[in-house]
Amino acid sequence: MKAFRFILLALIVTSCGTVVNYDYEESTDFTKYKTYNYFDDMQTGLSQLDTKRIIRAIDAKLSTMGLTRSDNPDFFIDIQSQDIQNRNNSNIGVGAGGTGGNVGGGVSVGFPLSSNQNTRELVVDFVDKKQNERLFWQAVSESTYKPKASPEKREEAFVKLVEKIFSGYPPK
């Protein structure tokens, strides 16, 4: 019974939250990058207001990391996102069965772990334009969000998301 509780708790915990995967060019000297800017033609896939929110959150985070936004940057940032509807359809089946002689039976009940969820995949690319637009760092995150959240909650969600995304920059 203890094992069942542990598995149930693990499934619930892993079905929520943000997952971030990182990739980077191993030969990159990350210490040489001090200034950044965003691509002018960036198509984020977010609303104009959400694009402003995520850019504010990224600017604030990179500022705390000692990076400065510049008109003549060392690298450019590209942000892309896409919404994924109903990504998590996990459920748990609880079964009971028994046998008596040559007779067997069983009952199975499914408990959904989540209802319809909106999931957003967000990709943040760091590109060195001076080196023929070489991609040198990338973060891909997948997280749930509430499309009808208030502007304050959206801002807060982007700040938390950016914290998680940039916990892997620079690579160690």
- The string of pLDDT tens digits covering residues 18-55 is 899 999 999 999 999 999 999 999 999 999 999 999 99
Query: Tell me, what's the pLDDT at 39?
Result: 96
Work out the average pLDDT over 109-129.
Answer: 79
The CATH fold assigned to 15-84+116-168 is Double Stranded RNA Binding Domain (3.30.160)
Distances (CA, A) of 129 to 59, 74, 80, 121: 19, 8, 18, 24
Please give the residue that has the higher pLDDT: either 75 or 6: 75
Q: Please give the distance of CA 84 from its chain centroid, rounded to a whole number.
A: 12
Kindly indicate the confidence band of residue 99, based on its pLDDT and cuts at 50, 70 and 90. low
Query: Tell me, what's the pLDDT at 125?
Result: 97
The letter for the amino acid at 115 is S
What distance in Å separates the CA atoms of residue 166 and residue 118, rounded to the nearest whole number? Answer: 23
pTM of the model: 0.74
Work out the average pLDDT over 62-72.
Answer: 97
